[in-house]
Amino acid sequence: MERDRAILDEQIAYYRARAREYDAWWLREGRFDRGDDNNQAWHADARAVEAALAAFLDARKPARALELACGTGLFTRHLAPRVGTLTAVDAAPEVITLNRARLGALPVQPPRYVEADLFAWEPEGTYDLVFMSFWLSHVPAARMDAFWATVRRALAPGGVAYVIDSAHEVTSTAVDHPPPDAQAGVVTRKLDDGSTFRIVKMFWTPAALAARLVPLGFRADLAQTPRYFIYGPVAPEPSG
């Protein structure tokens, strides 16, 4: 698997360099502004996944939660008020700084932050919830088995994972990005200053991801918004 180490290092470098620009993607600002119709569709889909996550958390009430690739806190802000304790992990110190500032402005218990490369990291304990948003698509195909084995080690008995990620939709990226290839597995991304980076980008459909997880011992209950996102819980099948 070390043959993909170079692109994974480039991927970390990309998200470190992109930290201050990252939220423009979610807010549909700057290069991500695709016009009123597309922007409205995006925001409607975003509200749908946020509402689904809130309903899931309110129903389960996880005592201990883990967020993988926490980024700037766009979803950390939804997790923190609805869980007992939260550990947030990311490889980029720049996004952890922004996440910490975002959560510090809210009336919630701040997460415990861990700076770590998720492909080298081991969980320090077990959790009732392992959450990831827009991270699974950055896991290379060759590392899926190992990654989900780590997720299983992080889950307490009865615990569950929850995934939010990108569906394949050509208007999801910046206007100056080439249309994403659903099959390539690697894309080139550009920052505001024109610098470019290669990153892993795996586009999953709910059915394809659920099928891929079966031999890994997980049962997925995934849905897709009309255009932009896939989401839902992933539970480990009982061992033995």
Give the whole-angstrom CA distance, residue 133 versus residue 83: 16
pLDDT of residue 240: 52
Three-state DSSP class for 40?
helix
Q: Looking at the 3D structure of the chain, how many domains does it have?
A: 1
- Render each residue's pLDDT in the chain as its tens digit; 240 residues: 567 899 999 999 999 999 999 999 999 999 999 999 999 999 999 999 999 999 999 999 999 999 999 999 999 999 999 999 999 999 999 999 999 999 999 999 999 999 999 999 999 999 999 999 999 999 999 999 999 999 999 999 999 999 999 999 999 999 999 888 888 899 999 999 999 999 999 999 999 999 999 999 999 999 999 999 999 999 999 875
Question: What is the span of the domain harbouring residue 218?
Answer: 2-236
CATH code at position 12: 3.40.50.150
pLDDT tens-digit map of 4-60: 899 999 999 999 999 999 999 999 999 999 999 999 999 999 999 999 999 999 999
Task: Tell the burial category of 214 from Cβ atoms under 10 Å away from its Cβ (0-12, 13-18, 19+).
Answer: exposed
pLDDT of residue 57: 98
Give the whole-angstrom CA distance, residue 174 versus residue 180: 10
The residue written with tokens 């597995």 in the block is 185
- The CA–CA distances, whole Å, from 63 to 60, 66, 156, 216 equal 9, 10, 11, 26
pLDDT of residue 41: 98
Range 138-154 burial, b when 16+ CB lie within 10 A, else e: bbbeebbeebbebbbeb
